[in-house]
Structure formats: structure tokens, C-alpha cells
Amino acid sequence: MNTSKKQRRQPLPYDVIVQATEGNSEALNAVLKHFDGYINTLATKRLYDEYGNTYLYVDQYRRQRLINKLISKIVGHKQHNLTYAWYPCSLSTYIKR
């Protein structure tokens, strides 16, 4: 018998969201951690091999683009020319000081 239920995540406190928009790196990390599962789901690709088997993997390039987009919207930058890295880059480059 499967009795496991999907647990709902608690919403982010308003204070954390406000601090993240002001550039607090700890609050920004809390927001990114909150949305990490959703970002991974959006960045997941489905591949098929020559035998028809299906494989799922998280595309790191797409994942990093989603993270960069979220950070830029949170912090309030309207930069359309963000340099997207092929590897996870430091969050401190996107935080207002």
C-alpha cells in the first residue's frame, strides 16, 4: 500500500523575498534553494538511444540560464546581455553591492 503523500513546501517568508530583492546573498540563496526542484524539472531533457530506451537528464546549460533569469528578475536588473556560462558561475557577480 502506498501511503506516501506529496508534501507541500512552505511558501517563502515575505521578509526573505524582500531581502533577496535588496541583494542579500543569503536570502537569494534561500530563494534559489526553494525553486531548485522546479528549475531542475524545467531543465530536464528526454533522450532516446538507438534501441528506443528513454533517458532523462538535467541540461546544465538550460539550468544555468533559468537560474540567471531568476536572479536577474529578483534583483531587478533589466540586462538583456547576460553572459550565460556553460558551468555554474558565482552568484556574487549578479548581486548588487
* Domain annotation covers residue 88: yes
Q: What is the bridge-based pairing of β-strands 54-58 and 44-48?
A: antiparallel
2 within a domain of the structure (yes/no): no
End-to-end CA distance of the chain: give it in Å, rounded.
53
Q: What are the pLDDT digits (tens) for 50-83?
A: 999 999 999 999 999 999 999 999 888 444 444 4
**Each residue of 14-38: pLDDT tens digit?**
889 888 888 889 999 999 999 999 9
Does residue 9 sit within a domain? Answer: no
Give the chain's domain count.
1
Q: Is the pLDDT of residue 39 over 60?
A: yes
Helix axes 14-21, 60-75, angle to 10 degrees: 90
- Determine the structural domain holding residue 44 and report its residue range: 14-94
Residue 49 lies inside a defined structural domain of this protein: yes
Is the pTM of the predicted complex or chain greater than 0.85?
no
Question: Is 21 a domain residue?
Answer: yes
Considering the domain boundaries, does residue 30 fall inside one? Answer: yes
Residue 4 lies in a domain: no
